[in-house]
Amino acid sequence: MPEPMSAVSDIESGARGAAPARSSAAHFLKQNLREYGMLLSLVAIMVFFHVMTDGTLLQPLNLTNLVLQNSYIVIMALGMLLVIVSGHIDLSVGSVSGFIGALAAVLMVEHGWHFVPATVVCLTVGAAIGAAQGWFVAYFKIPSFIVTLAGMLVFKGLALALLQGQSVGPFPLEFQKLSSGFIPDVFQASDLRLTSLLLGVAVAVAMAAIAWRERGNHRRHGMDVEPMALFVARNAA
C-alpha cells in the first residue's frame, strides 16, 4: 500500500506544480494589474485615435510636434513625481516654471546673454526656489500645501512683473535650434536619415539590454519576474 500512495502523491504534487506554470502569465498580470493597466489603457487610446485620424497620429511629424508641445509638462511631471512619492504636493510648479522661463527670456533677449550661461543661472535660481520651499516644509513643519500655495501666488506675480505684461522675443537662433533643429545626417543618405535611425536603434538596444540585466538580477534574488513572452512584447513595443 505505501507505493500506490506515493504514486498518487507524486501525481498530485505534479499537478499542483503544473497549474501555476500554466497560469503564470495570467497570475503576473493580475498581480501587476495596476502597472500594466495604465500601459494597456495608453495603447488602447493610441489605437483609437490612430484609427479616428486615418493614421495621422503616429506619423513622424505629428509625434515630433507632440514631444515638442509637451516637453515642459514631462519635465514638471518628473519633479512632481518625487514630491508626491514623499507624501507632499507642489502647487507652485507651474508658476515657478513660468517665472524661470520669463527670467531666461529677459536674460537672452533684453540683456543679450548666451543661452548657456542663461540656462545655468535659471537652473540655479530654480534649484534655490525649490530648496527654500523645502526648507520651510522640513524645518518649520509648515504643510507643503500652504508653502507652495504661497509660492504659486508669489512667483506668478514675479513673472508678470519681470515681463511687464508683454511678450519677449525673438530668441537667439542657437536657442531655437534646441527645439526646432535636427540631427545632421553624416551619411548623406536620400530620405532615410541614417544617423537618427542608427541612434534610435542604439538607444533601443541599450534599453533592452538594461531591462534584460534587471530581469536576470530579479531572478537571481528570487523576485517575481514577468513571463518571457510579456517581457519580449513590452520591450518590442
Please name which of 85, 218, 88 lies closest in space to residue 149, comparing C-alpha atoms: 88
Check pLDDT > 50 for residue 16.
no
Can you say how many angstroms the Cα of residue 163 is from the centroid of all Cα atoms in its chain?
31
Give the C-alpha separation, 46 to 55, whole Å.
10
Q: Is 168 helix (H, G, I), strand (E, B) or coil?
A: coil
CA-CA-CA-CA torsion for 113, 115, 120, 121, nearest 10 degrees? 40
Cβ neighbours, 10 Å, residue 125: 15
Output the pLDDT for position 12. 45
Summarised one tens digit per residue, pLDDT across range 112-127 is: 999 999 999 999 999 9
Within 8 A by CB and 6+ apart from 126, the residues are 96, 100
pTM for the model stands at 0.69
Residue 210, C-alpha cell as written in the block: 538594461
Output the pLDDT for position 7. 46
CA-based torsion, 158, 162, 163, 168: positive or negative: negative
Please name which of 76, 179, 63, 172 lies closest in space to residue 116, comparing C-alpha atoms: 172
Cβ neighbours, 10 Å, residue 195: 16
Summarised one tens digit per residue, pLDDT across range 156-213 is: 999 999 998 888 888 888 888 887 777 777 777 666 677 878 888 899 899 989 999 9
Give the C-alpha separation, 113 to 100, whole Å.
15
Give the C-alpha separation, 126 to 41, whole Å.
34
**Average of per-residue pLDDT across 226-234:** 77
Give the C-alpha separation, 23 to 15, whole Å.
12
What is the C-alpha R_g of the chain? 26
